[in-house]
Amino acid sequence: MGDGRHRTILQKIAHRAMLQRGLLPDFSAEALAELERIQSPASINLDQVRDLRGLLWASIDNDDSRDLDQLTVAEALPGDKVKILVAVADVDSLVKEGSAIDDHARHNTTSVYTAGRIFPMLPEKLSTDLTSLNFNEERLAVVVEMVIGADGALIASDIYRASVRNHAKLAYNSVAAWLEGNGVLPAAAEAVKGLEENLRLQDKTAQLMKNLRQTEGALSFETAEARTVFEGDELRDLEVDKRNRAKEIIEDFMIGANGVTARYLASKKYPSVRRVVRTPKRWERIVELADEHGYKLNNTPDSKALEDFLTRAKTADPDGFPDLSLAVIKLMGAGEYVAELPGEAALGHFGLAVRDYTHSTAPNRRYPDLITQRLLKAAIAKSPSPYGKDELEALAKHCTEEEDAASKVERQVRKSAAAMLLEHRIGEQFDAIVTGAAEKGTWARLLTVPVEGRVERGFEGLDIGNRIRVQLISVDVERGYIDFRKVGP
């Protein structure tokens, strides 16, 4: 299929897959007409919000990201304390509840990132421009303020509205290369006086926060995510996208900000939509995996003990750790959204070892974050909650279901892309790890190529985490099918 039509084929597959899963790939005529009437960013009244445009705000995201949801900045305080500020794009200022644009976002609940095309939750005129925290633009934001102690613990926090300006648009890989000593300071950061020192302070603080969370039982996963690489419109490769220090800065600050957000709403007696991961679905198999690696886990789920096992496993076999991480993630089970009303006990997030957690930092991309933003702005203004109990519970259930649908679309198109690359390799054998085992089928991921497929033959007795040898027996690009048979012991 090396005819330069790969991208077009994958776009058509994605469009059809979204419709099959009940998602809307296109915006309605009403939403587009509404969009035409929005010509500028939300107006800023400095009498009503804090003016923080002069702080050294910067965005760190993927190289090709255009929907910038958050900015970060650090400030050293006396006593080895650090103030971390996270600015989240004020999307609600332009996307009003009940509008046609909001109806589309509410239906899909998330942007869908497929190989070949992104289907944004909000029109790109908003998500990549008017509601994006773009370089050198003044924007409204909801700011989460955290004071972090020398041990990485949260000492104080606050949330308020502000005006901000992005002084440098940075990318994960180049910032990480610099932080890890494998590259130079990115030119965009070098051009801003004081930003180099600020980024190092952010990195140091994020590492302290991560280390504290891990001592409290947060789990350290490291999966090998596949990213499609195109040359023009022709698919050339699948690259493994790994974790790095710059990603950890954003990850740890967002985890902290999401916890502060949940507690802020609870303290103001407002409801929230929590992101929860309950007790692992298949803890008994996690115990078996640990035993295979020479580590004993109790039969009762224990996040601290699991983190200790993961840390030791990574030290013993860093190259194989992403495969072990993937197996444990599959055994943990999926997260879900639940509505929490004032006074109720939080379910918590097992993988993060936190009780208070909500999604709040990506309102251009996720609808739960936009819901949370509206609740936050109501709490700040001391206005009534924009959502009632029944509506919030229905929205939490809907967001969980649609997120699952979007993930299935992304996975199907990713496998269609992989099928394109593997068409000429039918009959070849590969080492693999079992990533799914249930009545509906058994799946395995290749160790040398970041591709997952179904084990059609020889799957009897296999379970998640087993290492096996497979032969590629067929692919179907249109349906995203990649089929293996187990060979050897």
Which pLDDT tens digit goes with each residue over 76-107? 999 999 999 999 999 999 999 999 999 999 99
Lookup: tokens for 53: 């445009």
Given a cut of 80, whether residue 343 has pLDDT beyond it is no
Q: Read off the pLDDT of each residue in 156-184 and give the average, rounded to a whole number.
A: 96
More confident residue, 221 or 390: 390
Q: How would residue 219 be classed by pLDDT, with cut points 50, 70 and 90?
A: low
* Residue 240 confidence (pLDDT): 75
Q: How would residue 456 be classed by pLDDT, with cut points 50, 70 and 90?
A: very high
Of 45-59, 183-197, 303-317, 417-431, give the lowest mean pLDDT range: 303-317
Comparing C-alpha atoms, which of 325, 339, 217 is closest to residue 276? 339
More confident residue, 216 or 10: 10
* Residue 227 confidence (pLDDT): 79
More confident residue, 159 or 115: 159
Of 213-227, 268-282, 293-307, 403-417, give the lowest mean pLDDT range: 213-227
Given a cut of 70, whether residue 182 has pLDDT beyond it is yes
Given a cut of 90, whether residue 188 has pLDDT beyond it is yes
What pTM does this model have? 0.85
Is the Cβ–Cβ distance between 279 and 301 less than 8 Å? yes
Question: pLDDT > 70: what percent of the chain?
Answer: 92
Q: Read off the pLDDT of each residue in 26-39 and give the average, rounded to a whole number.
A: 97
* Residue 313 confidence (pLDDT): 81
Q: Read off the pLDDT of each residue in 195-204 and give the average, rounded to a whole number.
A: 98
* Residue 224 confidence (pLDDT): 59
Angle (deg, nearest 10), helices 172-179 and 195-215: 90
What are the start-end ranges of the H helices in 317-359? 321-332
Q: Read off the pLDDT of each residue in 36-64 and give the average, rounded to a whole number.
A: 94
Given a cut of 60, whether residue 249 has pLDDT beyond it is yes
Comparing C-alpha atoms, which of 254, 436, 284, 223 is closest to residue 349? 254
Average pLDDT, the chain: 89
Q: Read off the pLDDT of each residue in 188-207 and give the average, rounded to a whole number.
A: 97
User: What is the SS3 assignment for 385?
Assistant: coil
* Residue 218 confidence (pLDDT): 53
Comparing C-alpha atoms, which of 216, 208, 224, 204 is closest to residue 352? 216
Q: Rounded CA gap, 123 and 315, in Å?
A: 44
Q: Read off the pLDDT of each residue in 109-135 and give the average, rounded to a whole number.
A: 95
* Domains in the chain: boundaries: 6-278+335-417, 426-489
* Residue 1 confidence (pLDDT): 47
* Residue 302 confidence (pLDDT): 72
Q: Rounded CA gap, 231 and 254, in Å?
A: 33
Given a cut of 90, whether residue 293 has pLDDT beyond it is no
Q: How would residue 353 be classed by pLDDT, with cut points 50, 70 and 90?
A: very low
Q: Rounded CA gap, 28 and 423, in Å?
A: 37
**How many residues are given for the chain?**
489
Q: Read off the pLDDT of each residue in 253-278 and give the average, rounded to a whole number.
A: 89
Structurally, at CATH architecture level, domain 426-489 sits in Beta Barrel (2.40)
More confident residue, 355 or 374: 374
> How many C-beta atoms lie closer than 10 Å to residue 142's C-beta?
28
Q: 91 to each of 305, 313, 486, how far by Cα in Å?
A: 40, 42, 49
Is the Cβ–Cβ distance between 301 and 283 less than 8 Å? yes
Q: Which helix (H) or strand (E) holds 156?
A: strand 154-165
As a whole number of Å, the end-to-end CA separation of the chain is 35
Is the Cβ–Cβ distance between 313 and 324 less than 8 Å? yes
Q: How would residue 412 be classed by pLDDT, with cut points 50, 70 and 90?
A: very high
